[in-house]
Structure 1
Amino acid sequence: MTDRTTPAATTDASAAAVATHGTANAAGTADAASAARTPGTADGAGGASTGSAEAAAQFRPNARYVLLLGLMCALPAVSTDMYLPSLPDVARDLNTSATAAQLTMTAMLIGGAAGQLVIGPLSDRFGRRKPVLIGVALHIVTSLLCAIAPAIVPLIALRTMQGFFNASATVVAMAIIRDRFVGSDASRLMSRLMLVIGVAPLFAPSLGGLVAGQWGWRAVFVVLGVFGAVLWVVVWRRLPETLTPERRRHGGLRTALSGYRALLSDRHFVALAILPGLGMAVLMSYVVASPFVLREGYGLSATEFSLLFAVNGVGLVAGAQVNAALVRRVAPIRIVRVVLPISLGLTAVLLALALTGWGGLVALLVVLWLILALVNFVPPNASALALTRHGEIAGTAAAVIGSLQAGVAGVVSPLSGLLGGDAVAMASVMVGSALLGLLVLALATPAYRRDGAWSV
């Protein structure tokens, strides 16, 4: 059970991390480019873009600023991935099942989805600094409480709270990028940022395994608390407020609900906000099924599987870098409407290879790598377009997009297993996700209409 559970959980959490990272990348990539090349963007985007342009003209990000935003985006991923190798130990120590131990992972995803929906509007109301400082502080507290959890039920509850609170770091980082960076500055920032946050899911499990091996699984939560404390100090000292008082949304619950109502009544925003989640569904089908497909179906060892997983992770980061460079010259909507059909075609090829066995493992891995390299093209650009439509409530809009991604992570995770957990099941979920994404873009947006606002 341990050998079978750990890789699946590892990849599942890494996918959740990448889902978060993809959304973070979306927040800033070519924000101004999308506004400039997308006539008719609505609902206050023009004013927000102007403010962002003025801020960008006065500020240039240095390496420390990029690192800070990267660490903020990576907090949920680190909190997830460092804990992964400890799952068998948690089940054994707390005298529970592997399934119950894995619920501590699902709980954090659910908490993160809920946290984004709550903290997003709060960041639009009170500014960016207060929510993230409070959220990270409570992350520290819940991490230390997790370290002394006496049973599995309290641990599940605490992990839900931990996901809720550390979602503040991701939401605020996304909103800050939308507040401050536009055009080529945003593209350069995001190309560097992905180098920071792309490292987390590659190395955090190894570090977590080392800590747990030396001092036990409870020590992992102590380390997460220390990491949160360091991040809190750096945010307190180095992160400036980017949402000026005159741009804040005043009011309570009614104001927050009105923001969500405005977002959900915008059909184009909803379609664009769904696309990142569907893009991550392609990734999730791979990460959940890959341990069974590669280790059991093709007989790879744990070491070989880990190496291949890292190579595919490099593809994810490389794809984000190519997109960040490409988006400076090509409108985001053009990238999305070209990449989605290509992704559908590649997933169809993968399904054919899985059904026929043609080319063996090598052919399967090559096509799989190409699919994963394209994963980070759709979420960044679709999210950037969605955020551009509602720049005046960037925190709330970012929360909706991030919550949808986290929700998709929880819904899609079991599908490959329910269909059999083999290569055919994995490829089938990929094809379905890519097809649904293309249909949403074609039917719910004017992306493919010559007379549409996004036809240029």
Structure 2
Amino acid sequence: MTKQRYIFLILILGTLTALGPFSIDMYLPGFPAIATYMHTSVPEVALSLSSFFIGLSAGQLLYGPLLDKYGRKKPLYFGLTFYVIASVGCAFAGSLHALILLRFIQAIGSCAAAVASMAMVRDLFPVKDNAKVFALLMLVVGASPMIAPTVGGYVTAGAGWQWVFIILAVMGALILLAVIFALPDSYQPDKSLSLKPIPIINGFWVVLKEPQFYTYAFTGALAFSGLFAYVAGSPMVFMEVFGVSKENYGWIFAGLSVGFIGSSQVNSLLLKKYRSEQIVKVSLSAQAIIAALFFTGALNNVFGLYGTVAMIFLFLCCIGITNPNTAALTLAPFAKNAGTASSLMGALQLGIGALVSTAVGMFDSKSVLPLAIVVFGSSLLAFVVYFTSIRINRDRFIAADNEVVVVGH
């Protein structure tokens, strides 16, 4: 594969991967405006974010078997078309209940892009390159938290929150055109696969019972859920608690994303010297320690705006290193059923993320503490799950020279 081809594929896959994050980040500055328009509160509007996460999680399970049976592109056509229609519907939603439902439908459409892009990494690149490719995808995805909230803030202030969803619909249409005309179908469809419930459940069970899968999928999902907590809690923390404007909130969100994206690129350098397994142990431990410090400081009310920003920045740096490595190690055992494995990994990640984001909104407290509690709890649980499973399954998988060699699948 030529270097130009390599970069071209990563750009397209990164665009697919970024569609969901753009759909999340771009409307965050509009929470107060949406709340005013619909005569409700910012925490109530945050339920539309939770419904989006739930839709992403459910859609992952839908598209996995479809991607393995029909190839990668046909399910993408369906999902992206669905996304465009739902995005337009969100722009014309007249009530919070309608917005919550339409965001769920929008998520069902967008997650086709996320599942397909993850599976195609496994299709198109050698296993030993997967962690590096996932890190490069994060660089493209990084445009979302750096651009989307800032653009969303100015669009909301200048034209109204509805135009955010119109822009998202246009983005979805452009990505659909790129998929049709520029993306190769990287997988030979397996027509023998059944879409009946029992065979599908059995297919997921084959993936789930693989020790390497459940170790890194649950660890990665729990660790990554701290990002969902931050996304769900940040409008309240920055705009309600600290009184930041919509425009400045976008800039803060963009600045914090530098930690997440920058660390994912540092991970590419680390992979030249260390194995993914070694990196996960250190980054996960650091994440738990930083989350504990954040919780302790928030409990004692010692963090102002700048202290809160600093702690979140360090926390996001840890996630940026942990996530590409857990993703690569989760999918490493699978080739033929990479679509099913990718969808199940995504469903776990987004399902846990939805629960965590909902938990942040359940606290009736106008402070940083709810976010700090949830971030600490999820990070601690990820730490415990990982080191417990590694001890139990110590001999079930091995790795050498950044290439995972799987035993027993």
SS in 1 for 2:274: coil
Q: Specify the alignment match of 1:51 in structure 2.
A: none
Q: Specify the alignment match of 2:257 in structure 1.
A: 313
Determine which of 203, 217, 230 is the counterpart of 2:147. Answer: 203
The answer to whether the Cα contact below 8 Å between 2:145 and 2:254 also exists between their aligned partners in 1 is no
- Aligned: 1:443 with 2:388: yes
Determine which of 142, 148, 164 is the counterpart of 2:108. Answer: 164
Once the two structures are TM-superposed, the CA of residue 167 in structure 1 deviates from its matched residue by 0.7
SS in 2 for 1:454: strand
- Aligned: 1:227 with 2:171: yes
- CA 107–365 in structure 1, closer or farther in 2 if over 3 Å, else same: closer
Counting only pairs closer than 5 Å after superposition, residues 111-260 of structure 1 correspond to structure 2 as: 111-182=55-126, 185-245=129-189, 250-253=193-196, 254-260=198-204
Using the alignment, how far apart are the partners of 2:305 and 2:165 within structure 1?
38
Q: Specify the alignment match of 1:5 in structure 2.
A: none
Determine which of 368, 380, 404 is the counterpart of 2:324. Answer: 380
The answer to whether the Cα contact below 8 Å between 2:153 and 2:247 also exists between their aligned partners in 1 is no
- CA 262–423 in structure 1, closer or farther in 2 if over 3 Å, else same: same
Q: Specify the alignment match of 1:81 in structure 2.
A: 25
Using the alignment, how far apart are the partners of 2:158 and 2:137 within structure 1?
32
- CA 343–79 in structure 1, closer or farther in 2 if over 3 Å, else same: closer
- CA deviation string 1:268-291 (max 9, x = no partner): 422321112211233344444455
Counting only pairs closer than 5 Å after superposition, residues 254-403 of structure 1 correspond to structure 2 as: 254-290=198-234, 306-355=250-299, 365-403=309-347
Once the two structures are TM-superposed, the CA of residue 390 in structure 1 deviates from its matched residue by 2.6
- CA 402–183 in structure 1, closer or farther in 2 if over 3 Å, else same: closer
Once the two structures are TM-superposed, the CA of residue 163 in structure 1 deviates from its matched residue by 0.7
- CA deviation string 1:32-53 (max 9, x = no partner): xxxxxxxxxxxxxxxxxxxxxx
Determine which of 372, 377, 402 is the counterpart of 1:427. Answer: 372
The answer to whether the Cα contact below 8 Å between 1:112 and 1:167 also exists between their aligned partners in 2 is yes
- CA deviation string 1:295-316 (max 9, x = no partner): 6666766666544432221000
- CA 71–206 in structure 1, closer or farther in 2 if over 3 Å, else same: same
Matching residue's letter, 1:438 = F
- Aligned: 1:61 with 2:61: no
Once the two structures are TM-superposed, the CA of residue 387 in structure 1 deviates from its matched residue by 0.9
Using the alignment, how far apart are the partners of 1:89 and 1:320 within structure 2?
33
What is the identity percentage for the equivalent residue pairs of Structure 1 and Structure 2?
A: 32
Using the alignment, how far apart are the partners of 1:159 and 1:212 within structure 2?
18
Using the alignment, how far apart are the partners of 1:95 and 1:356 within structure 2?
34
Matching residue's letter, 1:68 = I
Q: Specify the alignment match of 2:404 in structure 1.
A: none
SS in 2 for 1:241: coil
Matching residue's letter, 1:395 = G
The answer to whether the Cα contact below 8 Å between 1:275 and 1:378 also exists between their aligned partners in 2 is no
Instruction: State the TM-score, normalized to the length of structure 1.
Output: 0.77
Using the alignment, how far apart are the partners of 2:37 and 2:246 within structure 1?
24
- CA 384–248 in structure 1, closer or farther in 2 if over 3 Å, else same: farther
Using the alignment, how far apart are the partners of 2:261 and 2:77 within structure 1?
28
Q: Runs of 5+ in structure 2 lacking a partner?
A: 401-409
Q: Runs of 5+ in structure 1 lacking a partner?
A: 1-56
Matching residue's letter, 1:250 = L
The answer to whether the Cα contact below 8 Å between 1:184 and 1:328 also exists between their aligned partners in 2 is no
Using the alignment, how far apart are the partners of 2:90 and 2:309 within structure 1?
38
- CA deviation string 1:129-151 (max 9, x = no partner): 10111111121222233334454
- CA 216–334 in structure 1, closer or farther in 2 if over 3 Å, else same: same
SS in 2 for 1:376: helix
Q: Specify the alignment match of 1:410 in structure 2.
A: 354
- CA 64–325 in structure 1, closer or farther in 2 if over 3 Å, else same: same
Matching residue's letter, 1:131 = P
- CA 302–455 in structure 1, closer or farther in 2 if over 3 Å, else same: same
Over aligned residues, Cα RMSD in angstroms? 3.1
The answer to whether the Cα contact below 8 Å between 1:273 and 1:404 also exists between their aligned partners in 2 is yes
Q: Specify the alignment match of 1:11 in structure 2.
A: none
Matching residue's letter, 1:205 = P
Aligned residues: 398
Using the alignment, how far apart are the partners of 1:229 and 1:112 within structure 2?
19
SS in 1 for 2:398: coil
Task: Select between 205-214 and 232-241 the one with higher mean Cα deviation.
Answer: 205-214
Q: Specify the alignment match of 1:10 in structure 2.
A: none
- CA 402–348 in structure 1, closer or farther in 2 if over 3 Å, else same: same
Using the alignment, how far apart are the partners of 1:357 and 1:158 within structure 2?
38
Counting only pairs closer than 5 Å after superposition, residues 11-22 of structure 1 correspond to structure 2 as: none
Matching residue's letter, 2:330 = A
- CA 302–79 in structure 1, closer or farther in 2 if over 3 Å, else same: closer
Task: Give the structure, 1 or 2, with the largest relative contact order (CA under 8 Å, sep 6 or more).
Answer: 1
Task: Select between 423-432 and 313-322 the one with higher mean Cα deviation.
Answer: 423-432
Using the alignment, how far apart are the partners of 1:195 and 1:399 within structure 2?
22
Once the two structures are TM-superposed, the CA of residue 187 in structure 1 deviates from its matched residue by 5.0
SS in 2 for 1:445: helix
Q: Specify the alignment match of 2:406 in structure 1.
A: none
- CA 385–297 in structure 1, closer or farther in 2 if over 3 Å, else same: same
- CA deviation string 1:106-164 (max 9, x = no partner): 22222111111101110011000101111111212222333344544333322211110
Q: Specify the alignment match of 1:71 in structure 2.
A: 15
Matching residue's letter, 2:378 = S
Q: Specify the alignment match of 1:38 in structure 2.
A: none
Using the alignment, how far apart are the partners of 1:376 and 1:455 within structure 2?
21
